[in-house]
């Protein structure tokens, strides 16, 4: 299910960013969407109300986009991690950006993402993947178990 929304062109293995804003700018550049500035502003406004940094080195920023045809999930993996002021003080190493279409069952997509990212062994396994195809294969395999 989640793997159906992944595209190898939208996975950053060496995400180099200092904070969430920088990470989002880099990740949005891979998106099919063209209004990057508006989307960034919307996500940062949401972030100021309630953080999407979940702890355990994970952030799941998201925005629902009116008129979007299909949800995009963009993954960024940071070897060094980013300081995003998480409550557990663990640097964020995985950012899973969701650009959600209202026409998709986005609640299920988010729920599946959260289940996946809650699995410590899977989080660790993502960092052993050598390329984007392996990331998608690993996630698909996890979903089939």
For tokens 């990470």, what's the residue?
23
Q: Where are the domains of the chain?
A: 2-144
In whole angstroms, give the CA distance from residue 7 to residue 21: 22
CATH number belonging to domain 2-144: 3.40.930.10
Q: What are the pLDDT digits (tens) for 82-140? A: 988 778 888 999 999 999 999 999 899 999 999 999 999 999 999 999 999 999 999 99
More confident residue, 76 or 106: 76
Q: What is the DSSP letter of 111?
A: H
Of 6-10, 45-49, 68-72, the range with the lowest mean pLDDT is 45-49
């Amino acid at each position: 299910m989640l793997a159906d929304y992944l595209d190898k062109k939208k996975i950053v293995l060496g995400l180099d960013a200092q904070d969430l804003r920088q990470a989002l700018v880099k990740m949005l550049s891979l998106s099919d969407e063209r209004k990057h500035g508006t989307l960034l502003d919307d996500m940062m406004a949401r972030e100021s109300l309630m953080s999407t940094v979940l702890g355990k080195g994970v952030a799941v920023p998201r925005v629902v986009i009116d008129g979007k045809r299909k949800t995009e999930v963009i993954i960024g993996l940071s070897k060094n991690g980013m300081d995003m002021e998480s409550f557990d003080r663990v640097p964020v190493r995985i950012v899973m950006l969701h650009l959600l279409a209202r026409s998709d069952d986005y609640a299920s997509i988010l729920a599946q993402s959260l289940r996946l990212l809650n699995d410590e062994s899977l989080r660790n396994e993502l960092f052993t993947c050598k390329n984007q195809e392996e990331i998608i294969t690993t996630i698909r395999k996890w979903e089939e178990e």
